[in-house]
């Protein structure tokens, strides 16, 4: 449906004109992005930054180093990101997967096909759809659209998607109606998150929202 396509592109343009390019994901390496994707689950990014800073300061941002780190120690380093007990486990689960399947090598992981890799990521305990898709898009540059609470809230509020729609259906809606383009998916999700954070919280601040007229 061309109408949906035009609408989604128009919304993107409005956000982009408002905020400018965001150049996500904040992070110096694909590995850092993957760790950040797990740490940011239901957590504000500033808290995640503190945790990542702790790891960087100790020169521990490396799959083998992190995996061999005692749980106690890892837990204290990532404490600022909250949920530190479950996140310690989730990080270790991911690291075990990353090392056993790909020897901790991002390039080897990238060779895997998109949907097979997604399925494997979802099999890791602690990696759900948004985390898997964030890793795929932002760390591995695979063409997949990341959905989050803001996506559902904003597009629901504008009656573009029904309130009952689930994750996979939202993702399909965007991917069916947008050109398959890693750069576009990257920037689109980033713009949604910033719009959500800034204007479309549970209590909306619609006055200056770039999407107030759509």
Partner DNA sequence: GACCAGGCACATC
Partner DNA sequence: GATGTGCATGGT
Q: By CB under 7 A, name the binding residues for DNA.
A: 24-26, 36-37, 40-47, 50, 79-80, 82-87, 124-132, 134, 138, 148-150, 164, 166, 193, 196-197, 201-203
163 neighbors 123 (Cβ within 8 angstroms): no
Nearest to 188 by CA among 154, 157, 164: 154
Give whichever of 176 and 201 is closer to DNA, judged by the CB atom. 201
Distance CA 12, CA 18 (A): 10
- Tell the smallest beta-carbon distance from residue 104 to DNA (Å): 21
Give whichever of 42 and 59 is closer to DNA, judged by the CB atom. 42
Q: Concatenated DSSP letters for 89-142?
A: HHHHHHHHHHHHHHTT-HHHHHTS-HHHHHHHHHTSTT--HHHHHHIIIIIT--
- Tell the smallest beta-carbon distance from residue 200 to DNA (Å): 8
Phi-psi region of 134 (alpha: psi -120 to 50; beta: other; left: phi over 0): alpha
- Tell the smallest beta-carbon distance from residue 3 to DNA (Å): 27
Distance CA 42, CA 32 (A): 18
Give whichever of 64 and 85 is closer to DNA, judged by the CB atom. 85
Q: What's the full length of the chain, in residues?
A: 214
Give whichever of 130 and 187 is closer to DNA, judged by the CB atom. 130
Q: Decide: helix, strand or coil at residue 204.
A: strand
- Tell the smallest beta-carbon distance from residue 123 to DNA (Å): 8
Distance CA 82, CA 163 (A): 29
Distance CA 198, CA 153 (A): 13
- Tell the smallest beta-carbon distance from residue 108 to DNA (Å): 23
- Tell the smallest beta-carbon distance from residue 171 to DNA (Å): 12
Give whichever of 25 and 98 is closer to DNA, judged by the CB atom. 25
Give whichever of 67 and 165 is closer to DNA, judged by the CB atom. 165
């Amino acid at each position: 449906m061309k109408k949906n396509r035009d609408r989604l592109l128009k919304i993107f343009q409005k956000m982009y004109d408002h905020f400018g390019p965001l150049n996500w994901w904040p992070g110096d390496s694909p590995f850092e992005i993957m760790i950040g994707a797990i740490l940011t689950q239901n957590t504000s990014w500033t808290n995640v930054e503190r945790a990542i800073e702790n790891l960087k300061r100790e020169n521990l941002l490396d799959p083998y180093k992190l995996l061999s780190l005692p749980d106690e120690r890892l837990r204290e380093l990532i404490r600022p990101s909250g949920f530190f007990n479950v996140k310690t486990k989730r990080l270790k689960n991911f690291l075990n997967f990353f090392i056993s399947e790909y020897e901790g090598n991002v390039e080897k992981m990238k060779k895997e096909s998109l949907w097979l890799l997604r399925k494997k990521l979802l099999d890791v305990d602690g990696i759900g759809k948004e985390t898997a898709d964030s890793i795929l898009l932002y760390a591995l540059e695979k063409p997949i659209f990341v959905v989050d609470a803001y996506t559902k809230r904003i597009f629901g509020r504008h009656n573009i998607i029904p309130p009952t729609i689930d994750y996979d259906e939202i993702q399909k809606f965007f991917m069916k109606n947008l050109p398959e383009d890693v750069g576009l998916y990257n920037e689109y999700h980033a713009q949604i998150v910033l719009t959500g954070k800034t204007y479309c919280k549970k209590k909306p601040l619609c006055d200056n929202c770039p999407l107030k007229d759509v």
